[in-house]
Amino acid sequence: MLLKLFKTTCSTRVCFKTMTKPKADPNMPLQFVYTDQDFVTDVQRNSEKSPSSTAKFDAVVQAGWSDRMARGLFRYNLGDLQTRIMPGSHSYVAQLNIRRGTEKRKPQEILSIKQEFNAKQFNFNKINPEEIIFEMIKDTEGGSALHQQSRMVVLVNVSPLEFGHCLFVPDPSCCLPQVLTRFTIQGGIESVLLSSDTGFRVGFNSLGGFASVNHLHLHGYYMDHELKIESMLLKPLVPDKGFYRLLDFPAGFVFYAESQEVEKVARAICEVTDFLVDGNIAHNLFLTRGCPPCDRIRDKTNVCLRKGVRIVVWPRMSCFGAKEDSAFNVALCELAGHLPFKNKKDFELSTEKDVMDIIERYLLPDREFHSLEQQLLRLLTDS
């Protein structure tokens, strides 16, 4: 198996092309070291021009995840999820995942967007160490202090919603609450750029935005269906900061970053999410390969381009207390158009209008959204 090959052939600490476990401590997780040169830029959707081979990032994540599934470390066997594309302009991707609804760990009670970390509750320092696939480390060769100050631990989500569902946890020992940091945002963008698979997605739920655990983490998973937000038309807001607004979808903001713009865009996103936290506004983020921003119809070639990453930020109504036991909770993947249903009836009978009616209840009213847009315009223009 690929993972075993990495364990037996790697040296002490080498570049992205290999994995390593330091010999001094055999219990330390594997290290996955990468540089900016490892970002995959020649990506297109449904095109023969897409990379001909699987990126090493994908190979390691998928092999590590499959290995843990085979060893029985998950709460359930995911299997092949029943999937259907809902008729309608948004082409929602509906999936039936009953066992995630019944066997997932009970979510923590969240009472505030700024709730402090509580070491007595479940957190990622309490997991089985075998759930860790690797530590993600950027080799900056004396460069960015941002990456020198932290590490990203990648572990399996034992209640997966799709194939390869992992959690990206910035240095768990720091015990950070579920509030985004620039390092976390940048790590999320870079993980998408390291993947050659257009189906690899990353996301974040804030407290009050259906986060289950108050310990800083991102979700990452593979879902092999196109989502409308990958190519949807965008209205420019502050283009030099990569800041746009969705024109025809649940009201949200979009940032766009190609490989040379990651740090600048991550900084701007963090300004926005800090502003939302300070204003007690819950939010969800979804990161996916996407085509360059445009506010008008493009030719077929440009629509297929997936050179960069679209980062969608949805400010939303807060939901505190225990999670609702409904057909689906409106969180990062649902807002993006990926709908994991908990029961067969809702999966089979729900229409696009049903979904849009549910989602609408969780979004900010139009007046509040447009007021927020003006505030964010001033924030990013002045910074």
Q: How many Å apart are CA 270 and CA 376, to the nearest integer?
A: 12
Q: Verify whether residue 370 is a known catalytic residue.
A: no
First vs last Cα of the chain: how many Å apart? 49
Could you write out the three-class secondary structure of the chain?
Answer: CHHHHHHHHCCCCCCCCCEECCCCCCCCCCEEEECHHHCCCCCECCCCCCCCCCCHHHHHHHHHHHHHHHCCCCCCCCCCCEEEECCCCCCCEEEECHHHHHHCCCCCCECCCCCCCCCCCCCCCCCCHHHEEEEEEECCCCCCHHHHCCCEEEEECCCCCCCCCEEEEECHHHCCCCCCCHHHHHHHHHHHHHCCCCCEEEEEECCCCCCCCCCCCEEEEECCCCCHHHCCCEEEEEHHHCEEEECCCCCCEEEEECHHHHHHHHHHHHHHHHHHHHCCCEEEEEEEEECCCCCCCCCHHHHHECCEEEEEEEEECCCCECCCCCCCCCCHHHHHCEEEECCHHHHHHCCHHHHHHHHHCCECCHHHHHHHHHHHHHHHHHC
Exactly one of 165, 217, 283, 338 is catalytic; name it.
217
Q: Is 288 exposed, middle or buried (0-12, 13-18, 19+ CB in 10 A)?
A: buried
Which positions are catalytic? 217
